[in-house]
């Protein structure tokens, strides 16, 4: 099978090594000015040896004085042309060894990535707060927090847990790798690192991140559609946001896991998405719908569920959308479920939905005070409409909030 000639980069070695050597000369000048007896630590010596082997592994492919690489792009101009109109993937490199940072930045920048290199976890956290990266490449052993700790914290944060995290390590023990997996690392790179392996891992993980971003974008579009339904009725302004916040708060108050709290928040925005198919003359009429209009209105939970069903990330939200109009006595819609058949999350959203509706003025009714809402909802719960225990917990939560305020 014929193979294409690799793209060549003349003087590639000298260009990178000049930068490394300059930084090393500056550091050695500082070290030489210190009093005698300040021998380098075993870790520093080890890292220096590792970086030299690593550099050779990554870039010393010289043949006849020329360095060859199987790169896809022959110039920065070509890369920028291909990526015209798209944001460059942002990669955060975290390593306390300056040689490593320079090499990683140069190599990854050669592939058209936006690379930021920092010396420790503290600086990494500041960069992430400023602008979340698309990928993190982190050393394991660093001053302050280790790579394991940084990874664990990012994976525990809903805002950054989907950012791919790669641990770069010279540690080879199985226990070290297990520790990284437990911290949530998406992949590992062992030192010395070869350029081809680095590029392949980075490309694969960035593609995965791109798919994840597309899913998040789809969710955002659906949430925006939910808000557009709300905007059709001036009397429900802010309803979705209030519902999202109160439902998540009640889930937290009940001790539900984070995934359930996220589902409740999303359900607040998406529960009435199906009303996008309900005509304005029915949607804005409010009360006194005739039988035909009422049948149209009762279709909106199923319509909303069908819209969101293709997204697997919304699987926990689907029951909220479909069942938030069910009643514990079986008189609700669309399925006429009873208390033991209605899932917990729809019952939670249902309670806060009723409260917000009672507190909001509509053309056919005035807004009720908090005390009146409590009396009304407790009476309706005893009559079999709502989950009586959840109603009690909800007002307990509101009472606690008032005391704190």
CA–CA distances in Å: residue 83 to residues 110, 113, 202, 204, 206: 14, 10, 17, 17, 14
Mean pLDDT of 268-276: 91
Fold of domain 232-404: Hypothetical protein af1432 (1.10.3210)
pLDDT in tens, 101-138: 888 889 999 999 999 999 999 999 999 999 989 999 99
| Crossing angle (nearest 10°) for helices 370-382 and 388-404 | 160
The pair of structure tokens assigned to 273 is 């998405």
Mean pLDDT of 160-169: 90
313: pLDDT confidence band, cut at 50, 70 and 90? confident
pLDDT greater at residue 24 or residue 252? 252
Residues ≥6 apart with Cβ < 8 Å to 41: none
**pLDDT at 255 (0 to 100):** 97
> Which of 18-22, 160-164, 169-173, 333-337: highest mean pLDDT?
333-337
Mean per-residue pLDDT over the chain, rounded: 79
Calculate the CA dihedral of residues 247, 250, 255, 259 and round it to 10 degrees: 10
**Is pLDDT of 154 > 60?**
yes
CATH of domain 7-26+42-210: 3.40.50.2300
In the chain, where are the structural domains located? Answer: 7-26+42-210, 232-404
Residues ≥6 apart with Cβ < 8 Å to 225: 273, 276, 307
| % of the chain beyond a pLDDT of 90 | 46
Among the ranges given (25-29, 157-161, 344-348, 395-399), the one the predictor scored with the smallest mean pLDDT: 25-29
**pLDDT at 25 (0 to 100):** 55
pLDDT greater at residue 214 or residue 388? 388
């Amino acid at each position: 099978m014929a193979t294409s000639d690799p793209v060549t980069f003349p003087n590639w070695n000298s260009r990178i090594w000049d930068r490394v050597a300059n930084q090393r000369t500056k550091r050695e000048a500082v070290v030489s000015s210190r009093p005698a007896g300040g021998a380098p630590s075993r870790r520093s010596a080890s890292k220096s040896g590792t970086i030299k082997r690593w550099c050779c592994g990554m870039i010393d492919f010289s043949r006849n004085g020329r360095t060859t690489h199987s790169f896809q792009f022959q110039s920065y101009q070509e890369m920028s042309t291909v990526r015209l109109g798209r944001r460059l993937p942002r990669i955060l490199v975290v390593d306390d060894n300056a040689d490593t940072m320079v090499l990683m930045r140069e190599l990854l920048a050669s592939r058209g990535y936006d690379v930021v290199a920092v010396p420790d976890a503290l600086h990494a956290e500041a960069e992430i707060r400023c602008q979340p990266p698309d990928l993190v490449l982190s050393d394991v052993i660093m001053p302050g927090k280790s790579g394991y700790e940084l990874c664990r914290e990012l994976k525990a944060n809903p805002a950054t847990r989907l950012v791919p995290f790669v641990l770069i390590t010279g540690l080879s023990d199985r226990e070290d790798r297990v520790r990284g997996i437990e911290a949530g690392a998406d992949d590992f790179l062992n030192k010395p690192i070869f350029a081809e392996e680095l590029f392949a891992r980075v490309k694969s993980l960035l593609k995965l991140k791109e798919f994840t971003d597309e899913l998040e974008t789809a969710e955002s579009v659906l949430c925006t559609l939910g808000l557009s339904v709300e905007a059709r009725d001036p009397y429900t302004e802010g309803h979705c946001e209030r519902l999202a916040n109160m439902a998540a708060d009640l889930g937290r108050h009940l001790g539900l896991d984070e995934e359930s709290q996220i589902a409740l928040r999303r359900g607040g925005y998406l529960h009435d998405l199906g009303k996008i198919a309900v005509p304005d003359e029915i949607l804005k009429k409010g009360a006194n719908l005739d039988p035909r209009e009422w049948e149209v209105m009762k279709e909106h939970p199923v319509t909303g569920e069908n819209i969101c069903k293709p997204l697997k990330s919304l699987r926990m939200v689907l029951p909220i959308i479909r069942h938030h109009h069910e009643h514990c006595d079986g008189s609700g819609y669309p399925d006429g479920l009873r208390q033991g058949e209605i899932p917990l999350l729809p019952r939670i959203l249902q309670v806060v939905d009723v409260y917000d509706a009672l507190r909001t003025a509509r053309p056919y009714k005035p807004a009720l005070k908090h005390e009146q809402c409590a009396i009304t909802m407790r009476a309706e719960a005893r009559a079999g409409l709502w989950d009586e225990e959840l109603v009690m917990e909800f007002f307990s939560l509101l009472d606690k909030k008032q005391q704190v305020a």
